[in-house]
Amino acid sequence: MNAITAPSETTPLQRSERQAHIVKALEAHLPSHALLWNAEDTTPYECDGLTAYRQRPLVVALPENAAQVQAVLRTCHQLNVPVVARGAGTGLSGGALPHALGVTLSLAKFNKILKIDKKARTATVQCGVRNLAISEAVAGLGLYYAPDPSSQIACTIGGNVAENSGGVHCLKYGLTMHNIVKVKGFTMEGDEITLGSDALDTPGLDLLGIAIGSEGMLAVTTEVTVKLIPKPQLARCIMASFDDMRKAGDAVASLIGAGIIPAGLEMMDKPMTAAVEDFVHAGYDLNAEAILLCESDGTPEEVEEDIGRMSDVLRSCGATAIAVSRDEAERLRFWSGRKNAFPASGRISPDYMCMDSTIPRKRLADLLLAIQDMEKKYNLRCANVFHAGDGNLHPLILFDANDPDQLHRCELFGAEILETSVAMGGTVTGEHGVGIEKLNSMCVQFSAEENEQMFGIKRAFDPQGLLNPGKVIPTLHRCAEYGKMLVRGGQLKFADIPRF
Ligand SMILES: Cc1cc2nc3c(=O)[nH]c(=O)nc-3n(C[C@H](O)[C@H](O)[C@H](O)COP(=O)(O)OP(=O)(O)OC[C@H]3O[C@@H](n4cnc5c(N)ncnc54)[C@H](O)[C@@H]3O)c2cc1C
């Protein structure tokens, strides 16, 4: 098979020739219904949850078994064609944004739970299984899978592994990386790999640790073995109101400082509370500047003690109102607003861009107040809902993507939030990944040498750089140009990705 050279600019004719070439090569391995290339078929794949950036792939492949995944990768490797793996497409940083001259490899058909091992308390599932489907499948055994992204009804475990996803309960039970024992998959060259093992540790380098959170750049996951934990006997949630953002931020640090590890510790500011209350009627205090949701789970005795201690700390930090869920229905109602915060934002703005930085907990109020100043500077609204216990903020900048000037201001606003987070001792991403969204901000976080070391790892897995290229790690050129070539008008300047 002859390799296709990807020209930096392609004419529509060159594009269609390239497309025909790829389809023909893949048809040797996949049934025709598993390949899409017409515009109306590939358009649904043109973006992920970062909807401001869109790009149709040349071809979408929907393999049904591991051998077909391997064949797609081998074929694309031989043809020098970029591949972007895709789970449910709920990612918020553009990680699954297609390559204009490449193949989007959808893992949607990998949706089977393969094995539930009650004794080992693990489940082995295909990568396209939805996060929540795992807990649903083992609920009868009194078990569940702890990491719970708010998108858990839709997002896949393969996507969770790629992003090292977090969720409300990760403060106590750990992120995806703490709850996975093994992944199987294929490298870009089509070599089968198994990282981790059925035991809790493996000899040699921690390649599982490197793969988790690698945003689909090192290998394609097809199978994941997750840890399961017993469902707690009881969970109760405190909803606390604060009339001042700083007091709420200090309460978060004080709770952790008091040696309490809540099962969940989330914060919402006033604009977000108003948006969600209008949507789900969770009973939130609309006068509060900030609301904290603070959960305890365990035996009834443990929960009672925790709730008492947490209430004391919250009161001493100036909470103006405290409500404790009296039953499961009320607990779920308290959480319903938090869980629906992103969709609620869609009701008050045509578009939103969700930032995802992590800062030391004690700086929460500082960053939230700085964001209020940025709202004035960029003349855009911002609503905040986030994993306060982890110091992981999610400012949702509200804008209209159809207005290029608003999009540009939104991008600058987001970049300033990330830069301020780094200056406060934090990071540019907590759980949503870098994708394309935070590529430029990586230049602020890491030196050229550090980025080069990350490229070194990428090259060890994918020497030709064909798997999800142009994302996550900025090139030296990009960082040198940083500040001069910020993204504009929805057209990302992919220094490294050939466009047409
Ligand atoms: C409403 C909403 C709420 C959210 N809440 C949270 C939250 O609380 N916590 C959180 O962490 N995230 C959250 N997210 C973000 C998102 O849901 C997660 O990042 C999720 O893990 C993405 O899974 P996915 O299957 O949709 O992956 P996709 O979006 O399809 O892909 C994400 C990345 O993973 C790669 N990838 C996907 N599958 C594979 C595979 N099998 N092998 C190799 N690479 C792969 C892709 O190439 C891409 O880089 C939220 C998103 C939305 C829309």
pLDDT of residue 481: 75
419 φ, ψ (degrees, to nearest 5): -65, -40
Asked if 112 contacts 125 with a C-beta cutoff of 8 angstroms, the reply is yes
Specify the 3-state DSSP secondary structure of 4: coil
Asked if 159 contacts 90 with a C-beta cutoff of 8 angstroms, the reply is yes
How many angstroms separate the first and last alpha carbons of the chain?
24
Residue with structure tokens 């959960």?
295
Pocket test for ligand 1, best of 103, 150, 195 (most atoms within 8 A of CB): 150
Count how many Cα atoms sit within 13 Å of the Cα of residue 51 in the half-sphere of its side chain: 13
User: Tokens in use for 166?
Assistant: 């977090």
User: In whole angstroms, what is the distance from residue 224 CA to residue 193 CA?
Assistant: 12
Cα(468) to centroid(ligand 1), Å: 14
Cα(215) to centroid(ligand 1), Å: 9
Beta-sheet pairing, 229-230 with 234-242? unpaired
Q: What is each CA distance from 476 to 2, 214, 216, 245, 482, in whole angstroms?
A: 31, 20, 21, 39, 10
Give ∠ CA 83-224-27 in degrees, rounded to 5.
35
Ranges for all domains in the chain classified under CATH 3.30.70.260: 235-269+291-340
Pocket test for ligand 1, best of 163, 461, 468 (most atoms within 8 A of CB): 163
User: Tokens in use for 326?
Assistant: 């009296």
pLDDT of residue 483: 54
Pocket of ligand 1 (CB under 6 A): 48-49, 84-92, 95-96, 107, 127, 149-151, 155-156, 158-160, 162-163, 165-167, 215-216, 220-221, 342, 431-432, 468
Specify the 3-state DSSP secondary structure of 224: strand
User: Tokens in use for 373?
Assistant: 């100043």
| CATH code assigned to 235-269+291-340 | 3.30.70.260
Cα(307) to centroid(ligand 1), Å: 33
Torsion angle, alpha carbons of 64, 70, 71, 72, to 10: 80
Question: Can you say whether residue 183 is alpha, beta or left, with left for phi > 0 and alpha for psi between -120 and 50 degrees?
Answer: beta
Fold of 349-481: Alpha-Beta Plaits (3.30.70)
Cα(161) to centroid(ligand 1), Å: 8
Question: pLDDT 10s digit of each residue in the chain, 500 long?
Answer: 444 544 455 676 688 999 999 999 999 999 999 999 999 999 999 999 998 889 999 999 999 999 999 999 999 999 999 999 999 999 999 999 999 999 999 999 999 999 999 999 999 999 999 999 999 999 999 999 999 999 999 999 999 999 999 999 999 999 999 999 999 999 999 999 999 999 888 888 999 999 999 999 999 999 999 999 999 999 999 999 999 999 999 999 999 999 999 999 999 999 999 999 999 999 999 999 999 999 999 999 999 999 999 999 999 999 999 999 999 999 999 999 998 998 899 889 999 999 999 999 889 999 999 999 999 999 999 999 999 999 999 999 999 989 999 999 998 999 999 999 999 999 999 899 999 989 988 998 999 999 999 999 999 999 999 999 999 999 888 888 775 544 433 334 443 433 32
Predicted TM-score (pTM) of the model is 0.92
Residues 6+ apart with CB under 8 A from 252: 265, 267, 292, 361, 364, 388, 389
Fold of 113-230: 3.30.465
pLDDT of residue 200: 81
| CATH code assigned to 12-106 | 3.30.43.10
